[in-house]
Chain A
């Protein structure tokens, strides 16, 4: 399910609208994931407060969304562009790659809430494919 030229242009155009609110979207998506999929909390045992809207969640959500925003510009070579991040997730963080899909779903839910008119079915499929390709690139070094 590779990204077509059309997918890439749809994602870029939509991200132009999202980037202004990227921090908010990232924080909310992470908060939703920790609430609706409590098993994901196991990766954040060092944080004092795992509730949506807490400082660590807001800060980390922004970090994640920033990296995703960078990846929008790297769509022609996600595996190469995300190589260092893949090393990090594979060898240091050791996040089970199944969780990338879970976070992706929560990003989609958050985008639907904040951009109800722009997040059409065509945008949804392009962003879903982009996040899937991103997740695969992130898992590239795992084994």
Chain B
């Protein structure tokens, strides 16, 4: 079981309390598709991904970015049992969406960077450590049901 210190819980709550899902979600997903272009393989039905500008202006990508970020809220609300909270989502990603689990880390790195850019120096090294620990637990839970 993951052990969270009070400082880690406080840091993670604080970060999420300041999160504008409709801004960060789209920025995070579009950055991932631009910086790691092979991740576009999962978005064939999403329309024009031809270049960075098209990706950043794509409304389907924007909407999906927000959806993905809202999914993180489930982990936030169940921090002491992220593993089971995400069991269904893990099956979805492995059996239906067939996403290579290495991609989860790429998206979480982009999320860290987008949040860092928004929070500036308020995203202290300690905040970064707590948030990255949270994301690595999420990534691990999402990859658990792959066989």
A residues with CB within 8 A of B: 31-32, 35-36, 52, 105, 108-109, 112-113, 116, 119, 121-122, 124-125, 128
Instruction: Give the contact-size bracket for chain B.
Output: 20 to 34
| Extra inter-chain contacts (16) besides given A32-B128, A113-B117, A125-B34, CB under 8 Å | A35-B126, A35-B128, A36-B125, A36-B128, A108-B113, A109-B112, A109-B113, A109-B128, A112-B117, A113-B119, A113-B120, A113-B123, A116-B118, A116-B120, A124-B31, A125-B35
Q: Which residue of B lies closest to A128 (CB)?
A: B35
Instruction: Point out the residue from B113, B118, B126 that lies within 8 Å of A124, measured CB to CB.
Output: B113
Residues of B within 8 A of A112 (CB): 113-114, 116-117
Residues of B within 8 A of A105 (CB): 109
- Number of interchain pairs (Cβ within 8 Å): 50
Q: How far is the CA of A122 from the CA of B132 in the complex (A)?
A: 23
User: Is the CB of B60 closer than 8 A to any CB of chain A?
Assistant: no
Main secondary structure of the interface of A (DSSP, over half): helix
Residues 94-147 of B at the A interface (beta carbon under 8 Å): 109, 112-114, 116-121, 123, 125-126, 128-129, 132
Q: Which residue of A lies closest to B30 (CB)?
A: A121
Q: How far is the CA of A116 from the CA of B114 in the complex (A)?
A: 9
Residues of A within 8 A of B120 (CB): 113, 116
Cβ of B55 to closest chain A Cβ, rounded Å:
8
Cβ of A124 to closest chain B Cβ, rounded Å:
5
